[in-house]
Structure 1
Amino acid sequence: MKLFSKIFAFIFAFLFIWSAVLQYNDQDAWLWYAIYGSAALASIFFVFDRLLLSIGVFLSFLYLISSYIFWPEKYEGVSIGGGDINNIERARESLGLLISAMVMLFYAWRIKLSRKA
């Protein structure tokens, strides 16, 4: 399970970096660079057993609360052409934050398990 967790974290580090790069043409790109950059950094720290449990839990809650805040007033899906572009953009951002929260929660859970062993 430890090897799987390391591979999982390495893959998500790459995915978070890629997600940040894709924000280059967004109006608030700097915000998403910080959000996905911190998630990538946490993933890299996890790979090298340097991520603290408190940081994993904190980031998980931060991303979860942010996901709630970013959720559109009216959910219209995530595909272009399915509704108002602003609602679609906010739904995509919210789902990205929710994925980030779940990944950080997984890291915190694995850190907690490794302390018991």
Structure 2
Amino acid sequence: MHNKVKRYYHLKQKHKEIEQELSDLRTEITTYCEEQGVTDLEIGSHRVKIVFQDRKEYDDNKLYEVLADPSLWRMLSKPDSSKISSLIKLNVISGEKIKDTYSVKTITLLHVDKK
């Protein structure tokens, strides 16, 4: 068991290092594409594609003000975009009612595929 615990710890450390390197490379690649003014690029045998996506970030206090019904609030427990979207689709709440409870944040997604 000692070896398994030791291996697990080693892999978790390696995982952190890999995540950090991926983050650094992602930043470098997206910065390069931004400087070049491109969102689609072929480099060697790889294709790089930058995709912009908007995500709603809800303000807890504003959302609670318009959804003060405890049963609705319990269903949400914490603002979760997919749960809120589902409640709107099911007509449990209206999109109009919560329109001032969130801000839209544009995020950048990076896709790298092999040709």
TM-score range, shorter chain: under 0.3
Higher Cα Rg, which structure = 2
TM-score scaled by structure 2? 0.28
RCO higher in structure (CA 8 A, sep ≥6): 2
- The structure carrying a bigger strand percent of its residues is 2
- The structure carrying a bigger helix percent of its residues is 1
TM-score scaled by structure 1? 0.27
